[in-house]
Each structure stands twice: as structure tokens, then as C-alpha cells.
Amino acid sequence: MHKDIATPARTKEILDKYGFSFKKSLGQNFLIDPNILEKITGYAELDEKSGAIEIGPGIGALTEHLARKAGKVVAFEIDQRLLPVLEDTLSPYDNVTVIHSDILEADVADVISREFAGMERVAVVANLPYYVTTPILMKLLESRLPIDSMTVMMQKEVADRISASPSTKEYGSLSIAIQYYTEAETVMTVPKTVFMPQPNVASAVVRLKMRKEPPVRVEDEAFLFKVTRGSFVQRRKTILNNLQASMPDGKKRKDEIASALEAAGIDPGRRGETLTLEEFGRLADSLYPSFG
């Protein structure tokens, strides 16, 4: 076994060797606790027939743990300064490929078919950069990639929104989108002390298992998410008011919106946060002929 990258002393040694300074704009916080990494990879349930995709490997702390468990690891790193570092720290592992790319611009489907041929399953496992957590998750989900789970660390506040239930203050359009594609569960919270530098927010690890079929059938997926986002524009307003503000010409077409709500069996006086995914599905389908 090689000396773990994820200890404070070894991390400091690597950073000093390369004269590396953290870029705030990239949300770089490196994990320095091997036990936490062991737990994260455990939740991802990897074996030698699994491919793992990592986003933002940093100096390779989590990558190393993935390489020990998965058949193949592909890590996307946006920061060019880290490429030589990763080449060095991951040199003991011959099953890792590092791609210098922004995950939001990468053709992930192409990478999967190229890099994971012969693997039985593909999982995303990552300590996500906090400032782009939501766009990354949505891109991976909306692309309908052949992955079967994501075990990802994020800001605890975002984790709470992802696994929130209706009528809670965390529940919103993000909760609905994630729960449409996946079954979401927060599996652990992570103290600030296990990062270098320490972030100023608490973190949590969420496990998302892809659904084979979405829990509701709708005419148009993109329109469903447009309706859910429009329903939370101002949380304190009623669903009727929010839809008037967010639908094209909504102010003039109040009656059409009201009758769509009625057709979906939803009281126009309710607030968006009280609607279940199923109700949003009915509402989207009932608005679609006029506004889709």
C-alpha cells in the first residue's frame, strides 16, 4: 500500500513540492482524512467491474481510493496546474485517466463509451466544487448518461435541498428535478476540519441512485422543470401568482392558468412548496397545450 495522499502532512508536502496555491474561484478544498474517503468509496459500492468518474480530483486524494476499488477511474480536472501533480501522485495506479477539461463542456457520454468498455456499471464519485454543484448535477442527469449512481460531496445546504420533502423550507425546484431522475439520500455529514483549506460551510455526501423510469410521466420534461422553477420564483406567493409572473404573457392569461390549475386539481391559493412531484406533473401537462 502506498502512503495515503489524504493526510495533512502528505498533502502539505505535495503542495510545497509544486508550490501550489489554492484558487478560490475554483472552489478548491482538498480532503485530508483517509477515513472519510474510505466511507465515500464504500457508499459508492465499487468493484473491479465498475468504472468511476471523478470531477475535480485536486491532488488525487479521493482518486487514489477509487483506483484501489474500481476497475477504471476517469477524473476530469479543470486546473492545468494540477496535471503534473496528479501524474506524480497517481503514478502507482495504472487504472486512472486524467482528462484536462471542464466537466460542463465535456462530452461525457463519449468518454464513458471510450474509457469504460467492458465495465458492468459506471458511477460518479466526487467532491464537487461547491460553486457549480447544481449545474454539474443537472448536466449529468439531463444527459441521460449510462451511469447508475452518483455519490457526491457538496455543501450541506444543497444536500438538504436535494433530499427535501414538500412543505419544508428546503424544498424547491432543485429537489423536484433531482427526485425526478434519482432516489436521493444524504448518507453522511462531513466536518469542515477534514479539508485543506477549511471551507466556511458544512458539507454532506449525497447518494443518488438513478431511476430506471421517472416517477411521473409528462408530455415534456423540459416544460415540467420550467413550470417547477416558475412556481418558486417568490416563495411566499401563491402558485397562481408565481405562474402569472413566469409564464409567457401570464398576466394577461390569468384565466387560462387558473383553469389549468383547476383541471390538474390544484387549489390556485396554494404555494409551490406544498405541491408534490406528482402534482407538478399533472400541472405541467395541463399547462402544456397553452404554454408549452
- Residue 243 known to bind ligand: no
Contact 224, 277 (CB under 8 A): no
What is the largest distance, in Å, between two alpha-carbon atoms of the chain?
Answer: 68
- Neighbour count for residue 6 (Cβ, 10 Å): 24
Contact 167, 136 (CB under 8 A): no
Helix or strand or coil: residue 265? coil
Contact 73, 52 (CB under 8 A): yes
Nearest by Cα to 263 from 285, 241, 246: 285
Tally DSSP H helices, then E strands, for the chain. Answer: 12, 9
- Neighbour count for residue 211 (Cβ, 10 Å): 12
Contact 151, 40 (CB under 8 A): yes
- Residue 29 known to bind ligand: yes
- Residue 56 known to bind ligand: yes
- Residue 77 known to bind ligand: yes
Return the C-alpha cell found at 29: 478544498
Nearest by Cα to 50 from 64, 62, 68: 68
- Distance between CA 114 and CA 46 in Å, rounded? 19
Contact 276, 266 (CB under 8 A): no
Contact 73, 97 (CB under 8 A): yes
At residue 187, φ and ψ (nearest 5 deg) are -95, -25
Contact 134, 184 (CB under 8 A): no
Q: DSSP secondary-structure letter at 200?
A: S
Which residues fall in the annotated binding site for S-adenosyl-L-methionine? Answer: 29, 31, 56, 77, 102, 127
Known binding residues are 29, 31, 56, 77, 102, 127
